[in-house]
Amino acid sequence: MKVSTGDGFWKSLYMPIGRSFYTFVLSICLIFLLSDCVVSKDALGTQDKSEPSIDDLLSLAKVSSSCGGNNTFWIRNLIKNSSSCAQTTKVASGAHVNIYATSGLESALDYQYISQEFDSKIYPRLGEAFGFSDDLDGDGKVAVIVSDIHDGGQPGSSFVAGFFDPVDYFPDNSGYSVRSNYANIVYMDGVELVTVRNSDLAQGKPDTFLATLAHEYQHLIRFQYEARIMSQGGGRDEAWINEGTSEVAADIAGYSPQINRINCYRGRNSNSCSRGANGNSIFGSSKFNSLVDYAFAYSFMKYLYMISGSDTDSRNSFFRTGVQGPKGYRASDANGLFHLFKTSADSYLTSPQEIKNAVGIDGSEIFMKIYPAFLWQSLGDISPEFAQSGTDTGNTAEFLQDITKTIQYFPFPAAGTDGDVLRKLYDPLRIPEITPLGQLNPGQIQFVKADRSNSSSIERLVLLKKNIDGNLYSLQINTEMKRSGDISVSLGITENDDEGEEAIVLPESTDTRPICPHEFFKLSRNRTKQKIFNEYKSL
């Protein structure tokens, strides 16, 4: 297992005092949700505001022993948002993974096969694409715990297929209802997911269990870099990037394509995906808990991955840079992602100057060209007849030329090549048109059979039009790069108290759909800073 210690401040902290205190200090910073790694001594009952001593930090901690060993683990109940200690059996072991199953699930899968797939595909391929997870417990392996995940799902509806619990990144704290195993763990469902997996395999589809395992492993790898940013006052990566990247991670590991996401993107069915991506935002709903959110994020991130380089190595380098941020920028939001596209995408860096002039040299300008280029191609067309940015009517011909060049230089992969699944976004049917919307939020789109205008619109509203089969169609896109919605952080430190805990909300679905509850760990269940300070002050 490779261990990443970070650079700069993190290396200076890690080298003299070791991993255990480094992780302890990081956990204190995250628990207090401070803007930097400094605790106000007013919170400790003193007057001056200076950096606390080690004794001060230790006096605040309530670090307890974990579950008790002997293959027992804390497992979070997603309905109650609390943990219980579960006995498991080690059912397989590989070079980089140990697999455990709770009672009754010891024979649910061929676990030795799962172990071999992890060692031979998931671990090395995602290591190349993203890096390797911190070895928190020092055993050199990732733990995979298979259980019946308690998510409140109903039979035949959406369910939680697996999750990475960020609280496991920090030492256990007996003062809260959600407990930590302090180990790099992925939790997998051994009931509904196994049923879906068997059905998919019988239909010749990729292995859903392994695809989900790869998906969750990306979350685990990414979080070590998120945590370091958070301790310095930053936030977690936006869900559409994290989830979209995890969906592509399953492809990278060899379990592609995510055909259910593709089908949901193009819609035309009776469930929550009926209109597909039309009328939705690439940034997702406010809590990122709809099936379309996953479908939209996967489709666009798959496109970005494919156009970021001419081969697997260069594409992986783009993703790895976005996760780790070795140059000071990370793909934590749209601004960071497209800054990296400008500076790290092999296909863009080697493109002719005329293409760079057309697509742009600023991250926000590149997003304004790449995002519409993706959306127009997802309709099954490569040549819009009209293009306008904002209310600028004087440069429509030039903007149309730029969009057309962007599409030509960054097309969907050809049929029969890697990534050609993107062509299924419009084949056999593209997204259905909808009734025109009055206003679009950031990242939101609308494809309508009507003539639309950008008059009195926001500056970053892009309008593309074309006559198709005797009808005029318009595609309007709000290319503002700000995600709306609640993206505050909860590391499971909150108990079910009078704050009105919000349970996990599963996407509506009329069929069995596996989902990842990543955004559940980011809802506004965190206590206020002052309340946390007051609790610890009273110890």
**Three-state DSSP class for residue 356:** helix
**For the whole model, what pTM was predicted?**
0.83
* Among 44-58, 94-108, 446-460, 511-525, the least confident range: 44-58
Amino acid 458 reads: I
Question: pLDDT tier at 512 (50, 70, 90 boundaries)?
Answer: low
Compare 163 and 235 and report the one with higher pLDDT: 163
- The pLDDT score that the predictor gives to residue 502 is 55
> Mean per-residue pLDDT for 65-86?
88
CA atoms of 236 and 232, how far apart (whole Å):
11
Question: pLDDT tier at 4 (50, 70, 90 boundaries)?
Answer: very low
**Three-state DSSP class for residue 374:** helix
Compare 202 and 155 and report the one with higher pLDDT: 202
- Which residues, including other chains, have CB under 8 Å from residue 52's CB and lie 6 or more apart? 38, 39, 41, 44
**Three-state DSSP class for residue 30:** helix
Mean pLDDT, the chain, integer: 82
Amino acid 443 reads: G
**3-state SS string over 509-532?**
CCCCCEECCHHHHHCCCCCCHHHH
User: What are residue 83's DSSP bridge partners?
Assistant: 76
> Mean per-residue pLDDT for 113-132?
98
CA atoms of 318 and 188, how far apart (whole Å):
28
- Which residues, including other chains, have CB under 8 Å from residue 219's CB and lie 6 or more apart? 163, 164, 242, 246, 516, 518
Question: pLDDT tier at 61 (50, 70, 90 boundaries)?
Answer: very low
Residue 142 has pLDDT above 90, yes or no: yes
CA atoms of 180 and 262, how far apart (whole Å):
36
Q: What number of other Cβ atoms are within 10 A of residue 183's Cβ?
A: 19
For 449-486, how does the pLDDT look when each residue is reduced to its tens digit (9 = 90+)? 999 999 777 889 999 999 999 999 999 999 999 876 54
> Mean per-residue pLDDT for 390-405?
95
Structure tokens at 255: 């379990």
Question: pLDDT tier at 286 (50, 70, 90 boundaries)?
Answer: confident
> Mean per-residue pLDDT for 11-15?
34
Residue 29 has pLDDT above 60, yes or no: no
- The pLDDT score that the predictor gives to residue 528 is 37
CA atoms of 328 and 336, how far apart (whole Å):
10
